[in-house]
């Protein structure tokens, strides 16, 4: 059994969105519209001077790194190198970032991504993306008022979240920490709104 401690998100006061994590399927390639959407969204993030963070794998993760790099932005990948997880995509050698943080297991990787980011962008994916989305949403609820917001990218999120709100015990505050966007223009608006919310936090903290 490993003696390493699991890295958990910090509770420091969040006043600016400077680092943005991208979540999504590792199985998508350049032919999927979501790949280009992630690429363009990350490119916009980089143009605004923010760092792009992802899990260092293929698919949406590689699209995010490449999109940011195309605009000269800063990139970080949080990875781990599994030896006995045949269903985990692992490290993608084509996902070349400025910096890499290596972790010991999947849980450390997931919380490493959350710890290093100020906002999360969730594209379509599988069970891994669902686990990241759910954990990020839970933490936003627990730290509400000092939470890290989320942008859910894709039209399908409307239907998905309708099911969640109808069948689970979701409160008002939990609905305030995320925004659903369907395209790049809506993504830009959502990011600007969250930036403005952080500006309001800074004023209150003075």
Look at residue 59 in the predicted model and tell me its pLDDT: 96
- Region 148-174: what's the mean pLDDT? 97
Residue 118 falls inside a structural domain: yes
Query: How far apart are the C-alpha atoms of 202 and 60, rounded to whole Å?
Result: 32
Answer whether residue 1 is part of any domain.
no
Q: Is the pLDDT of residue 114 over 50?
A: yes
Domain ranges, residue 105: 19-205
Q: pTM above 0.85?
A: yes
Give the torsion sign (CA, 155, 156, 159, 164): negative
**Residue 4 resides in a domain:** no
pLDDT at 180: 98
Give the CA-trace dihedral at 194, 119, 59, 128, to 10 degrees: -120
Q: Calculate what percentage of the chain has a pLDDT beyond 90.
A: 84
Q: Is residue 110 part of a domain?
A: yes
Q: Confidence class of residue 5 from pLDDT cuts 50, 70 and 90?
A: low
Residue 11 within any structural domain of the chain: no
Q: Is residue 73 one of the residues assigned to a domain?
A: yes
7 in any annotated domain: no
Distance CA 85, CA 81 (A): 9
pLDDT score of 3 more than 60: no
Rounded to whole angstroms, the Cα distance separating 112 from 135 reads 12
Is residue 9's pLDDT more than 80? Answer: no
What average pLDDT does the segment 157-162 reach? Answer: 98
What is the reported pLDDT for 158?
98
In sequence order, the β-bridge partners of residue 22 are 121
**pLDDT (0 to 100) of residue 82:** 82
Q: What mean pLDDT is reported for the chain?
A: 93
Least confident of 8-12, 96-100, 109-113, 157-161: 8-12
Region 108-112: mean pLDDT is: 96
CATH number at residue 88: 3.40.50.450
Say how far apart CA 20 and CA 121 lie, in whole Å: 7
Distance CA 77, CA 142 (A): 26
- Specify the number of domains making up the chain: 1
């Amino acid at each position: 059994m490993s003696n390493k401690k699991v890295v958990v998100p910090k509770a420091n006061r969040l006043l600016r969105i400077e680092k943005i994590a991208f979540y999504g399927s590792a199985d998508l390639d350049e032919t999927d519209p979501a790949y280009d959407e992630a690429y363009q969204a990350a490119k916009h993030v980089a143009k605004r001077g923010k760092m792009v963070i992802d899990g260092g794998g293929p698919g949406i993760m590689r699209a995010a790194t490449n999109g940011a790099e195309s605009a000269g932005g800063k990139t970080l990948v949080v990875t781990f190198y599994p030896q006995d997880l045949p269903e985990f995509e692992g490290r993608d050698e084509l996902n070349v970032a400025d910096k890499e943080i290596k972790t010991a297991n999947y849980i450390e990787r997931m919380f490493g991504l959350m710890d290093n980011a100020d906002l999360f962008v969730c594209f379509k994916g599988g069970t891994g993306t669902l686990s990241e989305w759910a954990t990020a949403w839970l933490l936003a609820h627990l730290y509400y008022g000092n939470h890290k917001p989320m942008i859910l990218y894709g039209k399908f999120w409307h239907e998905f979240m309708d099911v969640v709100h109808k069948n689970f015990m979701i409160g008002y505050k939990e609905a305030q920490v995320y925004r659903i966007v369907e395209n790049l223009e809506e993504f830009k608006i959502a990011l600007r709104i969250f930036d403005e919310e952080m500006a309001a936090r800074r004023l209150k903290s003075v």
